[in-house]
Amino acid sequence: MYTLKDIKQGTIDFHQNNILGHGGFGVVYKGILHGGTIAAVKRLKDFASSGEVQFHTEVEVMSLVVHRNLINLIGFCSEDNERILVYPYMLNGTVASQLQAYVSGRPALDWPTRKKIALGTARGLAYLHERCVPKIIHRDIKASNILLDEHFQAIVSDFGLAKLLGEGQSHVFTAIRGTFGRIAPEYLMTGESSEKTDVFAYGLLLMELITGRNKLDVNPDEFENGGVVDWARELLEDGQLSSFVDTRLKSDYNEAEAEEMVQIALLCTMYRAAHRPRMSEVVRMLEGDGSVAGRWESLKNVQVPQDGTGTPNFVLSPAHYSEDECNSVELEAVELSGPR
């Protein structure tokens, strides 16, 4: 636990030159704390309302989890009217910042690194869902919430929206929070969230890693209805997956691995939660257990409920929303590492 004096000294009294970013819950500063520790210091605002809730949620969750693919809380400060969370400063930013279309002097993520990120994220989520007591649902998995350390190891962060499930509890009903376009259909329609809502969001993250398109901002001319999921399915069925893979990779990727990863992403974004794999199953598929093709073959023809116009009756495409239109209230993880 840090004192407010420690935090102020480390951030030079919250000097504006140390600001890494702003978000719905406050401001994140780069700080050098005692012992020379470089940290991301999240200073929450509105501590008496939403900020206080996030503060206690993150402290509680961080006290329960220890895993190489999950962010660790270095410390916190609860003093006077201040609520502050202290996290490691990540050298390589976030998946979102790494997938930006162009950053001078920085090459695109290579294929092995993308696979490594996908597997690391899956392992972190599998731990939350199946090894934590109580089980934890993250509820806002997206590229900007996956940090990357100096070795490009994926670190799942931002637990401000997380929910802890009691013994025997498989889901919770809450007000809809998260990021539009990444919300599983059952959660969007009923407010029911479970580990399978995280699986759905993970599937979309996989598609971002494959396409290299942050926020999945695909060209509307590239698909008819249903968004990026239908677009991926059509390209897979037509044998044209090369059109789905990040063009910056050129031909420097394994086509069989790319096909399997797309199949995994499609399985994760199945309409019915029961059809989606558990994250431990995703881990095994990514590790090469040989089950991907058979599982996809058995589920690929499952029909999605549609409205009267023939359009799926839930929102699937993040391309239809801007980041400003999201309903996410927590600070984006990109602000824990600074712009890249």
Write out the catalytic residue numbers.
Answer: 140
**CA 86 and chain centroid, separation:** 20
- Alpha carbon distance 338, 28 (integer Å): 9
Could you tell me if 159 and 131 are in contact, meaning their C-beta atoms sit under 8 angstroms apart? no
Helix (H) or strand (E) holding 122: helix 111-130
In degrees and rounded to multiples of 5, residue 149 shows phi and psi of: -80, -170
Peptide bond into 220 cis (omega under 30): no
Helix axes 111-130, 279-286, angle to 10 degrees: 150
Let me know the angle formed at the C-alpha of 267 by 169 and 262, rounded to the nearest 5 degrees. Answer: 140
- Is the Cβ–Cβ distance between 93 and 147 less than 8 Å? yes
Look at the chain and count its residues. 340
C-alpha 29 chain-centroid distance: 22
- What b/e string do you get for 232-257 counting C-beta neighbours within 10 Å, with b at 16 or more? bbbbbeeeebeebbbeebeeebeeee
Q: Is 42 annotated as a binding residue?
A: yes
CA separation for the pair 18, 326 (Å, rounded)? 27
Q: Which residues are annotated as a binding site for ATP?
A: 42
